[in-house]
Amino acid sequence: MERIVITGMGAVTPIGIGVENFWNNLIAGKCGIETIKSFDASELAVQIAGEIKDFNPTDYLPKDVVRKTDAFMQYAYIAAEEALQQSKLEIEPERTGIVMGTAMSGISTIAFTQEALTGASHKKVGPRFIPKILGNIAAANIAIEHNIQGPSLTVSTACSSGGDAIFQAAMLIQAGKADVMIAVGAESALCPIFIYSLANAKALSRNNENPQGASCPFDESRDGFVIGEGGGALILETESHAKARGARIYGELLACGNTSDAYHVTAPHPEGRGAKACMEQALKEANLKSSDIGYVNAHGTSTPKGDEVETGAIKEVFGDKLPFVSSTKGATGHMMGAGGITEVISCIKAVETGIIPPTINLKNPIPCGIDFVANEPKKAEIKYAMSNAFGFGGQNSSIIVGKYE
Set 159, 191, 256, 278: catalytic member: 159
Active site annotation includes 241:
no
Contact 359, 300 (CB under 8 A): yes
User: Pick the catalytic residue: 216, 241, 256, 334?
Assistant: 334
Exactly one of 31, 269, 278, 299 is catalytic; which is it? 299
Residue closest to 386 by CA, chosen among 376, 368, 374, 398:
398
Q: Would you give the distance in Å from CA 175 to the centre of its chain?
A: 25
Closest CA to 105 of 79, 80, 139, 82: 139
Q: In this structure, are residues 32 and 332 in contact, taking their beta carbons and an 8 Å threshold? A: yes
Report how far residue 189's alpha carbon sits from residue 173's, in angstroms, rounded to the nearest whole number. 31
Helix axes 192-200, 107-117, angle to 10 degrees: 110
Rounded to whole angstroms, the Cα distance separating 287 from 171 reads: 17
Q: How far apart are CA 31 and CA 335, in angstroms?
A: 13
Distance CA 240, CA 191 (A): 45
Run of H or E residues at 254: strand 251-260
Q: Which residues are catalytic?
A: 159, 299, 334
